[in-house]
Structures are given as structure tokens and as C-alpha cells.
Structure 1
Amino acid sequence: MLKKLLLAVLFISTSISAQDYFFKKFHPFNSEIPSPEQFLGYEIGERHTRHDLIVSYFMELAKVSDRATIQEYGKTHEGRKLVILTITTPQNLENLSQLKTQHLQFTDPSKNPNNFDEVPVFINLGYNVHGNEPSSSEAALLTAYTLAASNNPEILNYLKNSVIFIDPTINPDGRDRHTQWANMYQGNPLVADPQDAEHNEYWPQGRTNHYWFDLNRDWLLGIHPESRGKLTWYHEWYPNVVTDFHEMGTQSSYFFEPMKDNGSLNPIMPKENYVDLNNLFGDYFSKALDSIGSFYFTKEVFDGTYPGYGSSYPDLQGGLGLLFEQASSRGHKQTTKFGEITFPFTIRNQYTSSITTIKAAVENKAILRKYQQNFFKSGLDNALKSKIKGYSFKDDHDPNRVKAFVDKLLLHKIDVYKSGNGYVVPTRQTQYRMVQTMFETYEKYRDSVYYDASAWSVANFYNMKYKPVTSLNLGERVTSVDDLVKPTPVQKSQYAYIIDYDDYNAVALLNQLQTDGLVVSSSFKPFTVKTTNGNKAFNYGALVVPVSLQEKNADAVFSIVQQAQNTYKVPVFTVNSGYSLKGIDLGSRSVSPITKPKAAMIIGNGVRSYEAGEVWHLLDTRIHMPITKIPVRNFGRASLDKYNTLVMVSGRYNFSEKQIDKIKNWVSKGNTLITIGSASKWAIDKKLVKEKLTEQEKDSTKAIIRKPYVDAPEHLGKESVGGAIFRVDLDITHPLAFGYHDASIPVYKNNSIWLAPSKNEYATVAKYSKDPHIDGFITKKNMEENLKPSASLIVSELGNGTVVLFADNPNFRGSWYGTNRLFLNAIFLGDKITIPE
């Protein structure tokens, strides 16, 4: 009987039209407003809709309906438009500016409006942040049509009492990648077999954006144009409710909040949010889904601990973020344990939850507005009670890394002030909870298993030296980063230029000089020299550009150096003599020419696309250096002779012995292999290097303690390192650490790769410190038995070449400015590393 019931709701009834399958209850519709089916020429759910057609339909609605307007808030990496359709009554649209002013008063603690039930509630319906979870964007089309065309009293009431912002596709690049796949392999008749190509998208799949990043983790980090555009929009409107629609495994059902309990011991979001409001809205969703016979679950999984999801970031902005997860058809129709799940069925659940969200928000708008007002006021109250009055930070050696961090703070509307030669962020400000997010670290947690990271103190991502302060000395408020870095313009030299390698942008400048045909050297020892700007001490790695040794004349060299400095804002100094005041001279054998990197990276099935994308993004967008991406399927016939650097990120590399020998022979010729995470373990397991993993002796005499079966996922899950920040001791004299001044830096660990320190006493570049914990959850066993004895970064010789082994990801989510340099040094200086025996 249950199977028959489920089959009945999974299939579209042949007795009603496809459109009425979704919204029969909302008749009558304005016949002058085209439905999605009329505009697209096919029924919703019959095909996967391309993003440009979604945008075109939204533009048509804005053109023909007096209820809708459309705005573009950005473009993706691939140039696709990011749009939001605003829908409400014509009267509300005419007065939107006034309504916005009234709405924003509830976010201002200095105001005290009490017209909670009079101002329309602001709702942001967000869809398809993961490109291959496509049902939600189709639901967005149906929702937009319903709101723009329905004259049903229920819909008219919603429009009167709300302003609805529909963002149909947060990740257009990923969506179109998946849409092409699903439509390309669609059969006629449809093929429900899970093994069919339609249901098994090829690497890297459509989940991620152009650079293979998960945009649902980017709300806090704000790396990509999709997120930065949305954040800018968000902080203009501060919606009361925000939806985050997803899909999950085909064999599941449907999920809506409340989530699993927050893993933090004392979550910084108010308890009213994740208890009262979630349960209030949950009652609405359960009744709506019950009415169409859909099964669902709540509370078991999906914690909102990490504040950078589309369903958690709004919780730190006075709104209510809501997560939905729909079992995916992964195509148009697929066999499950309960029959066949169809694309239209998945769309209907998302559509039902969309309309229900509006219903719940409208019927509780006074509660939502009161909550929003209390949220910002309580933030100020909490700040006032705290002994910490602010955070000061600076870095005298790396102004461009500081600039990038300040830019991140300003993106989240955090107040920053210039104070002396550093900066101060006061805690008593509207964005107090975001200040906590950026700076606070934690050791104690309520839970031990996390859906994502357990550490996110962004200041540590940037290796920012910061400290809490109990009194404030505020200077001028920073409103833009445009003029934060203004190095002294370089003067023309007939002898040499020296570039301060401490600056984050120095590597990009180095690449630019090499691309423009200059020979650049690196200093392997520090020195002090007289420059035209006075005496200057240079750190390990300082770049030297000798003028007379170039193939270009002095004027051309100066032009290239000057243009590079103007682009990257890096300190460049002019010297007229190679004789140093202290340390080595410029003609020393310790000043060695840098080989221009010719890099390749293995990608494809088995390779972790996130990490590969992080490498690609770093080199593309910050260094402006090309990297060849070699698919695994082509590796056997690919020639490595044209490259001097090969990157292997985490993954499963099922290479043949012949292919392994190919890598060994290539490295042995004097080239550099860089491995990250599980690729480092692979290199050790395949004996490319003579290094070892940290191993603990098993105690065979220890008694096995019986545990409840039901607790197995929790007990086993807590032993994984889901994402935490640790301190390492860095050898700043090593070429991989050139540019660092502090021997103690934070690293991000989200794996269980434990590298044993090298037996060669000069080859361990970074080892976890004696007191390594900075932020995030780790078990005592992992800390004592695995982390503390291990190394984070080691190098190993292979013939005449070098293997650089990272245990931890130095490029995590495009945000670890503090460890990017380690990876970039491996690319640019890897062939300069010799390991003394």
C-alpha cells in the first residue's frame, strides 16, 4: 500500500495539465502573462532549462507585469548574468524606496520603530547554488509566474504584505554545465536506470562554479564574483527570510529545517533563531508537504555551525536562513527503492516550499521584524558587556595581504579604522556578530561531528597578527581599500632593482617580470644595501633584477619594472652598487636566477576538484600565470618534457606502474613535483620518496569496549578532522618559506594525512608546534597521537629533482592568503632546493 501511495505522488497525473500539477490551487491566472511553458515551448520538468532562458523569462515578466522589476547584480566568471526579480503589488513597487527606508530602520539599533505589522516583510528566495541540483531553478520559474500572474486571493494577499526577491540561479556556470549534460544524455523514452550516463555526470560535475569552488561555502569568504555581488546586494536590503534550496542523494526524501543542533557550545546567533523561528516555519512546511503526499525529515543532519552557507549567513544578519534538500532525480527520471522519482516531482516539492515560505513569512511578519530589531540591538548589548572592546591588527611587512583582509571586512560591512600604522575593529558596532566570526577562536564544542568546518576565524586565514584590546584609539574610518597601499614609485637605475619579497603580490610581480622577458634572481640569504631611498634590510627571497645583465636596455627594463609595480603595488628599490652594507653582495652565489615556471596539474576522475580549482584560481586570478590542466585519461600519452613543475592535489590516483615510473623519471631530471593532502600519501605509498607517514603502535592487549550500534556514525565521525586551524613552526630560512618573518603561522587542516618529519634534518619545512591548537574541533587522540608528532610540509629529493609534500591544503577555498606563499614558492623556487645530506 505504501509503495502504491509513493508511486502515485511521484508521477504526474495524466488527467491534469503539467502546469496544474504544480499550481492548480492558485487559479485564476492572468492570460496576458505567459507561463514558463508558453515562453519556453516545453513543460517545466520536461527538460533542464538553460540559465539564459531563465533570465530571458524573468526579463519578460518584468516587461509585461506591473508587479515585477528585474536587476542585474553581477556576472559570473564565464560572463553569465546574475539577476534578481523583485515581485510585489504595483503600489508597493511604486513606493519601494520608501518601504526600503522603513524596512532598514529595523536593522538600525539607534532607531526604535514599532510598526512591526505595517511594513511588508522582505523575502529572498535563493535557488541553485549547486549547479547540478537543478530542481530549484525550475521551481523559481514557477514561483515567479505564480506571483506575477495569479489573481488568487491568497497570492494577492502575499503580494500586498511582502516584497519578494527571487534569485533564480546563484551558480549559473555550474548549472549550465549540468544542464548541457542532462539534456545531452536525455533519452526518448526516458531512461530510469541509475547506471545510465544521464545520471552520472563526468568530472568536475556541475556542482561548482567555473573554478570548481562550492559557492555555498563562499558567503563568508566572498572570493568569487557570484558571492561578492550577492553580498553587496544583501547588505543593501537585509531580507527577513532567505531560502537556500538544494538536492541530495536520490534514495532520500526531503529535508527542511530545523537542522541538527549547532555544533558550537555557545552559538553567536540568538537561540530564538534556531529554535523558535525554525520550529515555527517547520510547522508550515510539514503541513504543506503533507497535503501533497510528500515524505520528509528534519533535525537529523545538516548543521548550521559554519556561518558561510546560504542558510546560515542570513542568521548572522538579523534574518532567518532556511535550508531545503530534495532527493535528486539526477536527470529526468531515475529508479529508487520506492519506484521512480521524476524531475517534475522534485520541482513540485521545491515550488511548494517556496510558496509556503512566503505564506509563513507573511503570517508572521511582525514576529520576524521584532526579531530583526532585537538581533541588532542585542549585538550592541553583547558587545557592551564584553571586556573586549575591539581587535587591532597589522603587518609591517606585507601591506597587500593586510589590504585583502581589510577588503574582506568591508565586504561584510564591518567598521574598520586606521590607527597609527595598523588597524582597529571596534566590537561595539552593528555587525558585532560578524566581528566575532572574523576574530574569535574556540576550543570547546557541544558536538564533535560537523557537516563542514569547525573553525573559520578569518583573521587566521590571512595569517593576520591580531590581538583583542580593552580600550580603543580610533583613527580615521576606512571606507575603501583603493588607496591603502601606495609604495614609493621606483626610480630608474642603470645597475639593479630589488623587490621586497615579503609582500603577497611579489610573486605576481615576479611572474610579470619573467613574462616580459626579464631575468630575476632570488636571494637565499638576507642583506642590507644602500638604495636611493636610504639603507634597506632585505629578507630571505628578495628579488634582484640586474640591469646590465638583461637582453633589454636600461630604458626598457625600467619601463617593465615600473609597469609591474604600478599593477601590483609592491615595494621596489633602486640600487646603484652591488656592494652591501651587511650580508651578501648582489653578485653572491647565494643570489640565484629563478627559472620561469612551466606548470601542469593533473585533473579528472578521482582528483579532488575543489583543490584543483583552488590551484587554478590562485594562479589565474592573482598570479596571472597559466597552468596546463592534464586530464587523467590523457596522462598516459601526455608529454611532461615541456613542464618543470607538476601539481597533484588530493585524490585517488590509479596510475599503472609505467605511469608512476614516468613521473619518477621526469622528477629525477631536475623537475619539481608538488603534492597536497592524499597525493602526498600516494607519493609515499608508491615510494616516489623515502618519507614516511606517522604511525602509532597498536596495543593488542587493550580491551575492546562494546558501544551502542546507533552511536557508530557519531563515534567514528568525530575522529575525522573536518576543518580546524593549527599552529606550525616554520623554518623561515628555507626557500619554501621565503617572504615570512614569523616562524609561527596558522595552517588549515581538513584531512587525516599525517606526515612523519623527514629523517633529513634540513627537509622538514613546517612542523606542528608543541601547542598547536588555534581554532576548531579535534579529538585528544588525534591531537596527541597524530598531529603533534607530525609535519605539515616536507621536501624530499628524487634524483636531481624535488618532491614538495603538503599535508595540509595551503590554498583552501581561495582564502588562505597566509599559506598561499608556501605553495607559490614551491612553484617558483622548487628547483632551487637542495637537501644537504
Structure 2
Amino acid sequence: MLANIYNAAKKSHLALVTALALGAASFGAATVNEAHAALVTIAPDHGGKPVHAYLPDTVTYNTSIPTPESVLGAQIGEWHVRHDQLVQYMKVLAETSDRVTIEETGRTHENRPLLLLTITSPDNRDNLETMRKQHIDAMLGGKKVSKDAPLVFYMGYSIHGNEPSGSNAALALAYYLAAGQGEEVDALLKDNIVLFDPSFNPDGLSRFAQWANMHKGKQLVSDSRHREHDEGWPSGRTNHYWFDLNRDWLLLAHPESQARIKQFHKWRPHVLTDFHEMGTDSTYFFQPGVRSRKNPLTPDENVTLTEALAQYHAAAFDKEGTLYFTEQAFDDFYAGKGSTYPDLHGSIGILFEQASSRGHLQSSINGDLAFKDTIQNQVTTSLSTFRGALANKAALLDYQSNFVRGTQEQAKNDKTVGFVVGTETDLGRLNAFLSMLEQHNIRYEVVNKDSKVNGITYKKGQAVYVPTEQPQYRLVKSIFSTQTSFENNTFYDVSTWNLALAFNLQYSPLDKGDARDVKRGDKETVATLALNTIQNDAYAYGFSWQHYYAPAMLQTLLEQGVQVRSSEEAFAALSYNGDVVSLPPGSIIVPKGLAQPANIEDIITQAQAKLRVPVFSFKSGLTPVGNDLGSRSMAPVYAPQVMIVGGEGTSEYEAGEIWHYFDTKVGIAASIVEQQHVGRALSDPSIHYTHIIFPSGRYGFSESQKAQLESWVKAGGVMIGQKSALRYFTDNKWLDAEIVSRETIDNAYDESKLSYADGGALYAKKLVAGAVFETKIDTSHPLFYGFESDTLPMFKTSNMIVQGDSSPFVTPATYTEEPLMAGFSDNAMVELMAESTAVTTNKMGRGVVIGFTDNMQFRGYWYGTNKVLANAIYQSHFVR
């Protein structure tokens, strides 16, 4: 009878449950337990599978090397691997395999180790550094290498934490490389080197693993609406500060990227892999992508070789019957992506995109998609990458040397021989820019004599010359590009990343004649700001608001109880040594006559030394120019209490960028409050918020909550919104402006002669896919204190256009008549944006509402516009 129940259960899980319920009385306890055990045995299993099931059966494995399941206690794919488990297993492999060397290359924001495994034949272990140096010397010299020279692979996984199939596949691949035996593995490791990065984004991977695992039941739920597949805010895609690390390869705002780029330049691999996931209803994508949308500085031969490797991915999937596609959707244009940055360095960067189960099992148009199957596909293409590269080894070796020689030839023939970049006063921004160049191995020389180019004077020690004729020629051309016209105007990401514009630095491209006029030396160093002795008997102390780290200096003083004043107007005061010091509007004064901390001199001395912002000691409150130091125009500045509105409906990227700026560049301990809790936060009598910042998002406060926000502003609060948040602000009359309608944008285009097939191209024209626009700013307005020029580059990533009051008291920044500076934006869109509003304000009672059309903190590298947000915090009391 038990056999009959068992057979019924095979046909229907419900049949067994029913049979047990009806027949339990006629069975003994042991029989019922056996039936229950049968139920567990035959339950559908979409969990994991043992490591050998993921790997080719043509390879045998060293039994002394532990399998992932023996160390972690679960099969691969049964649970989402946490980063600490991944680290544990990689360390076990390094301890037990003589092929594996492991090193910690850095730490994440959350203090998780960044690991890199170097895997090769044991015979190569003692010779690795020699092999590396020979490879680098040959590569940088453009020398043709022998066919026996090693290929260097950089296998990297899951830069987006909620795209975990890559890092979970890394368990199987690491085991394969450490324990595999036979001709296939020997051929790979004998004469080649595999650099193995199991997790590009440990913090995001851990966040998502916790989410997926905490929602997994014994019965896997494939319903896409199930909470397991509907991740909470913020998602695990991003890192600790909610940045997309796959956009940070060039920008280097985070330690994960900084550590990775250091290793990339140390090894300059021939092939670098970048494993991702995409929508659940997709299949599998591998490059090449859309050829016409590759970066123009990437040689066509790169795509040809990518196509050659793709043949091996296709063959592997054809054998398995797995669906896939190529040459669609994805491109290799933005130099800051994992599959493009290598391309500008002579490597073959390859993007892989697997349809995501976003959990353990999810239904799709292709049937139920199991996590273990997504892992399997990433294992498959990792192995096909090895096979394809070995089969094309000679071509890959030749390509890298040809790439270098081609780069040398292009640099030699380029009429632009270099770029001069400098600043009038703010060395903080210049030094941050130079730090980025150094991390990318970009060579520069310091200007050692004042030099004038195109009407701009570049000061000694405050400017650098970046030659184009250097190994990093392609990257140099990329980061100074002002291209606005492209073969294909559809972009997967931004269309420009001009770093000089991002840092708001003066710069000029130079031909040979101009370059001769720029005096420089490779042994010179950038000037440092002279720090002053803080005099105990000074009348007051002060510093200029022009320095990038002036807000951090101010915040440091405020947190230590120092009473400060900011000046609404420019003035000059007599310093302790007798010099007359001129300071612009917004500059900070610390009067000694107020109730200051007893150790005020020590506080200022230490802050000055740490932040490199010169502080002057003034002898008298009577000023030779401008208002005296006790004037009513010297307004008190109080420590801000900032709220960033976050949670469901808001952009985690923008919230994270604002948080990152305050936390790492200014020192503000901002509160992130989910929008559903904003009302309660404002009602809490224990805390008084001074500023509330709304990133892009969908907002839906109740009428009572909106009234509460309005009352808060009228009582003196400062409400700041950016990008799409301005729609909500204007709808509620918090800002006196109008958002240009989609219909207006549509009407700017003549569709009468288009066909249905033109729809995609038309849609692309209406987008603004990351371009730089010039704005005209009023430097006398508090929001632009500390800025020297009356123009400021801003970065646009949306086609939102704001039409506001043209009054200088309401609109301190507008786009210029011809605003496009770099990147793509269709002429019709540029015309609509010309002279529209970039920054607007509205006085409401004793408070103020501020609106930014653009993102002042874009991806953490727009140093040039950071100060605008700082001014909205520290200088907003002057807005009227």
C-alpha cells in the first residue's frame, strides 16, 4: 500500500498529502514517517546542484581539493552565496592548491576584503613577477612577442550585487581551475595566467544574498510578484553608497574601483570578462554588441577578435540548446564600463548578460528560470572564454602589440599634442583631478612658469600639461573629448565624460605652437597653499569660500562649537602680518569676541592642517574695503541638520550620491528618511531639521503632510529638490516654474516623413543621454558663492526642461544660448533647453525652496558643481 502512495506522489504532490491524511490511521507511525520522507525526497528541486554537475565531464578533479559544497555545507545554487562564504572558500583553495595565490587588494566601504586570486601552473608560481614584468615591458613597448608568451586573463564577476549568478558561478570556476586535471586544464594553466576576481561588489552581493535567502521557502515560489523577486530599497545592485560600480571604472570614486584599476594596470590582461544579469524574460547576451555604437577610439580589430571568441560561446550554447543573442541592445561606448575600459587599453573586454532569476526560481516567457541554471550559463561562457582565447592565442598576443604600435602612430600624427589644465585658486579640485590621472597611469607635467594660451593665463604650479603622445593616448583623448556628433546617436550610458569640465577646471587643447608657449617640467610639483600661523591674540580668523574643502572646514568648526559668520559681500581685512587680504562673498569669519571654545586656536590650526584651507588671523574688525567684521551682513551660520528623502519611489543613485558627498567630502551626518516617515520625522520634537533634500523620484504625500512641509519651510526650513522632484514641487506651487511638457518636446519633431521603423531613432533623439551643458550663473547669488567664472558646466542626464521666472532673485542660473559643450543632444532638444532654467528658488515665509534641474553630484566625480549643493546648505540664509 505504501508503494501505491509513493507512486501516486510521483504523479501528484497533492495526491501524497491527501493519501497521508486519509490513510494515516491504518498505517503505523514508521510507515507514515517513511511516506513523509518520500514526500521530501520527491519534492520538486530547483535548488542547487553539486559542483561537478556544473563542470565538463571530460575533466577529472584532484580529490584533495575541497569542493564548494564540502566547505559551505550546501550545493551551488541552493542558496545565494554570501561574500564571507565566498572569501572562505577562496582562502581554502589557496591553502590546498599549489596553483592558487590569493591577495587582498583593498577593502570596501563596509570593510569587506577585495580578493584577487592568481591561478597558474605550479611551475610558474616562483616566476610570476618575472612573467608579469616581461609582459608589461613588451606590451608598453609594442614589441611583437613569441607565440609561447602567456595570455593574461582577468575573470571578474558580479559588479552588480543583485546579479549574483556570476559570483556564484565563481565558486565552480575557482574549483575547476584549482582542482581540474587533464589536457584541457593543463593547456590553460601551463603557459597562461588567470587573475580571478570572484566579486567586484562585495557589499551589494551580501545585501542581495540576505534578501534572496531570507525569502526562500522549502517550496520555491516562481511568482514574479513574490517578495523574493521584488527587492526592497535600496537594491543590492549598488555598493555601500548606492553607486553603480560598473560606471566607476574611469571615475574611481570608490575603493572597489581603485583597487581593481590598480591591478588592471599592474597586469594589463589580454582578456577581461564582466558577468552581468538582465531582465528575467531575456535569454543570454554575449558580445559583440552594436558595432556602430562602440567607442570610436576602440580599434575595429577589437570587435573582430570579440566575434572570434563569440563563436566559442555560441558553440557551447548550441550544444546545450540554450537561447542567446548578440549585436543588439548593448554597446561599448562609455569608457567607464567594465567591458569598455579594457578596450581602450588593448584588452578584449567582454560583457555577458544572463537573464536573471532574481531569487531562486522565477517564471518567465521562456518557462521557469532557476537560479542554478543562470549559474550554469555563466560557468559555460567562462569556460568557452578560455577555449576561445587559447584557440586565438596568437591573434590576441599580436593584437595587444599592434594596439600599442597603432596608439603610438595615432599619437604621433595627432595635431593636438596635449592639453593644459589649471585653476585660478582652488587647488583642491585640481589635486583631485590629478589623483584620477595618476591612478590611470596618465602622465602629466607641471607648468613651472605663468603661461598664456587662448587668452587664459595658466599659473605656475597651478596648472599641468597632459601630453597626448604617451601610452595612455586613447584614454587622454577620451577624457578631454568635446565630441557632439556621432555615427550612432543611441547610447546605453552617457555620451561624454570630459573630466576637465566635470572638475570645472580651465583647459585648452594645444597644437605644437601653443605647446611651446607652455613652460613645464616633469620634475616640478603642484603648488601647495601656504598655511598660516594661527595667532592667539587675533581679533578674528577667516578663510575664503572659494576652496573646494571650505564647506568641510566650516562643518569641522561648527561641530566643535565654534561660532562663525559668513559674509554676504566681498571685503578685505588687515591680516596679522600687515597684508590686506581680500575675501569674496560667502567667506567665513570666526570672531574671537564671541563665546568661543577655550582651545579655539588649536581647533582652527588642526582643521587648517587637515583640510589644507588657509586661515588668516585678522588684527582688527575695521576693514579697509567692504563691510566691517561686525556688520549685519556677517550672518551667523549654524550647524545644519540635513534630511535626505529616500525609500521606495526615490532614486537610490541620487540619494546615495548626495549622502556620499556629505559623508565623504563635507562631513555632514545626514539623516536618510524614507518618504513615508517624513511627516513623523518633522513631528519629532527631539530633532530640528534645517534642510530637506528630495532626489529624483515619485512623491505622493497626503494633503496634511504637504501642509506640514509647507509650514516647516515657512518657519525657516530649506527644501531642495533636483531633477524629477521639481515636477512635484511645481505641481504643488512650491516653485514658481513650469516643466516643459512631453507634448512640447514631441511637437519639436516632424514625424510626417517617418516610417514605423524610425521610432527607435526618434526616441533616441528626444533623450539626453549624459551630456555637458553650459550655464550662465550669477556669482553674486548665495547659491554660487565661491565660483569665479560666470559660466559653469553642468551635467544633464534627462530631457526635463524648466521654464521659470527670469528674475535674478529667482533664477540664478540658466542655460546659455548655445549650451551644448560635450556629448550628444539633438539640435531640437538643445534649442528647447537654450536659456531655460538651470537653478531656481522661491522664498516661502522665512524659508526657501531651491530647485536644481540637474544632478549636482553625478556619480561622485562632478567636483565642479558640488559647491552648489554646499551653498544650498550653508549660504541659503542669504537667499531672499
The equivalent residue for 2:702 is: 656
The equivalent residue for 1:317 is: 345
Deviation at 1:698, TM superposition (A): 8.9
- Quick check: 1:543 aligned with 2:572? no
Cα displacement string for residues 433-467 of structure 1 (whole angstroms, at most 9, x for unaligned residues): 11112212112111122111011111111001111
Deviation at 1:820, TM superposition (A): 0.4
The equivalent residue for 1:3 is: none
> Which of 213, 216, 221 is 2:251 aligned to?
221
The equivalent residue for 2:661 is: 618
- Structure 1, unaligned runs of 5 or more: 1-10
Deviation at 1:188, TM superposition (A): 0.6
The equivalent residue for 1:123 is: 153
**One-letter identity of the residue aligned with 1:399:** L
Distance 1:189 1:408 in 2: 50
The equivalent residue for 2:831 is: 784
Cα displacement string for residues 705-758 of structure 1 (whole angstroms, at most 9, x for unaligned residues): 263333323321321111100100010000100100101110000012211132
Deviation at 1:88, TM superposition (A): 0.9
The structure-2 alpha-carbon separation of the partners of 1:100 and 1:702, relative to structure 1 and needing over 3 Å to count, comes to closer
Alignment TM-score, normalising by the size of structure 1: 0.94
- Quick check: 1:607 aligned with 2:650? yes
Report 1:324-363 matches (<5 A).
324-363=352-391
Q: Which stretch has the larger CA shift, 457-466 or 25-34?
A: 25-34
Q: Which stretch has the larger CA shift, 318-327 or 775-784?
A: 775-784
**One-letter identity of the residue aligned with 2:595:** Q
- Structure 2, unaligned runs of 5 or more: 1-42, 449-459
Deviation at 1:699, TM superposition (A): 10
**One-letter identity of the residue aligned with 1:278:** T
Larger radius of gyration: 2
- Quick check: 1:729 aligned with 2:776? yes
> Which of 578, 593, 609 is 2:636 aligned to?
593
Report 1:78-89 matches (<5 A).
78-89=110-121
Cα displacement string for residues 517-550 of structure 1 (whole angstroms, at most 9, x for unaligned residues): 1111111111122213522221111111111213
SS at match of 1:397: coil
The equivalent residue for 1:764 is: 811
Deviation at 1:797, TM superposition (A): 1.2
**One-letter identity of the residue aligned with 2:590:** V
Q: Is the CA contact (8 Å cut-off) linking 2:283 and 2:354 kept in structure 1?
A: yes
**One-letter identity of the residue aligned with 1:791:** T
Q: Is the CA contact (8 Å cut-off) linking 2:273 and 2:351 kept in structure 1?
A: yes
Cα displacement string for residues 118-175 of structure 1 (whole angstroms, at most 9, x for unaligned residues): 1110000000100000000011111110111111211111111310011000100000
SS at match of 2:616: strand
- Quick check: 1:65 aligned with 2:97? yes
**One-letter identity of the residue aligned with 1:358:** F
Distance 2:340 2:824 in 1: 19
Distance 1:589 1:156 in 2: 80
The equivalent residue for 1:258 is: 288
**One-letter identity of the residue aligned with 2:804:** P
The equivalent residue for 2:138 is: 106
Deviation at 1:403, TM superposition (A): 0.7
**One-letter identity of the residue aligned with 1:540:** P
> Which of 23, 40, 45 is 2:55 aligned to?
23
> Which of 375, 381, 403 is 2:431 aligned to?
403
Distance 2:147 2:536 in 1: 68
The total of aligned residue pairs comes to 815
**One-letter identity of the residue aligned with 2:484:** E
Report 1:16-55 matches (<5 A).
18-55=50-87
Distance 1:699 1:653 in 2: 25
Deviation at 1:486, TM superposition (A): 5.0
SS at match of 2:803: coil
Distance 2:85 2:474 in 1: 39
Deviation at 1:702, TM superposition (A): 9.9
Distance 1:823 1:140 in 2: 41
Report 1:410-809 matches (<5 A).
410-420=438-448, 421=460, 422-470=463-511, 471-472=515-516, 473=518, 475-477=520-522, 484-533=528-577, 534-553=579-598, 556-639=599-682, 642-694=688-740, 705=752, 707-785=754-832, 787-809=833-855
Distance 2:827 2:360 in 1: 47
Distance 1:465 1:439 in 2: 12
Taking only the aligned residue pairs, the percentage that are identical comes to 38
The equivalent residue for 1:6 is: none
Distance 1:317 1:646 in 2: 43
The equivalent residue for 2:269 is: 239
Q: Is the CA contact (8 Å cut-off) linking 2:138 and 2:145 kept in structure 1?
A: no
Distance 2:611 2:745 in 1: 53
Deviation at 1:412, TM superposition (A): 0.5
Distance 2:626 2:596 in 1: 28
Distance 2:747 2:643 in 1: 46
Q: Is the CA contact (8 Å cut-off) linking 2:571 and 2:584 kept in structure 1?
A: yes
SS at match of 1:773: strand
The structure-2 alpha-carbon separation of the partners of 1:367 and 1:820, relative to structure 1 and needing over 3 Å to count, comes to same
Q: Is the CA contact (8 Å cut-off) linking 2:637 and 2:874 kept in structure 1?
A: yes
Q: Is the CA contact (8 Å cut-off) linking 1:131 and 1:177 kept in structure 2?
A: yes
SS at match of 1:583: coil
SS at match of 2:605: helix
Distance 2:324 2:395 in 1: 26
Distance 2:133 2:744 in 1: 66
**One-letter identity of the residue aligned with 1:639:** L
Distance 1:645 1:267 in 2: 44
> Which of 326, 332, 349 is 1:298 aligned to?
326
- Quick check: 1:374 aligned with 2:427? no
Q: Is the CA contact (8 Å cut-off) linking 1:262 and 1:305 kept in structure 2?
A: no
RMSD: 2.1
**One-letter identity of the residue aligned with 1:69:** T
Distance 1:307 1:415 in 2: 18
Q: Which stretch has the larger CA shift, 171-180 or 192-201?
A: 192-201
Q: Is the CA contact (8 Å cut-off) linking 1:493 and 1:575 kept in structure 2?
A: no
Distance 1:704 1:621 in 2: 48
Deviation at 1:583, TM superposition (A): 2.1
Distance 2:557 2:745 in 1: 54
- Quick check: 1:817 aligned with 2:845? no
Q: Is the CA contact (8 Å cut-off) linking 2:421 and 2:500 kept in structure 1?
A: no
Q: Which stretch has the larger CA shift, 427-436 or 355-364?
A: 355-364
Distance 1:196 1:209 in 2: 24
Q: Which stretch has the larger CA shift, 24-33 or 193-202?
A: 24-33
Distance 2:408 2:502 in 1: 26
Deviation at 1:701, TM superposition (A): 13
Deviation at 1:484, TM superposition (A): 4.7
Report 1:149-298 matches (<5 A).
149-263=179-293, 267-274=296-303, 276-298=304-326
> Which of 386, 397, 417 is 2:414 aligned to?
386
Cα displacement string for residues 253-276 of structure 1 (whole angstroms, at most 9, x for unaligned residues): 000000113437x711212112x1
Deviation at 1:487, TM superposition (A): 3.4
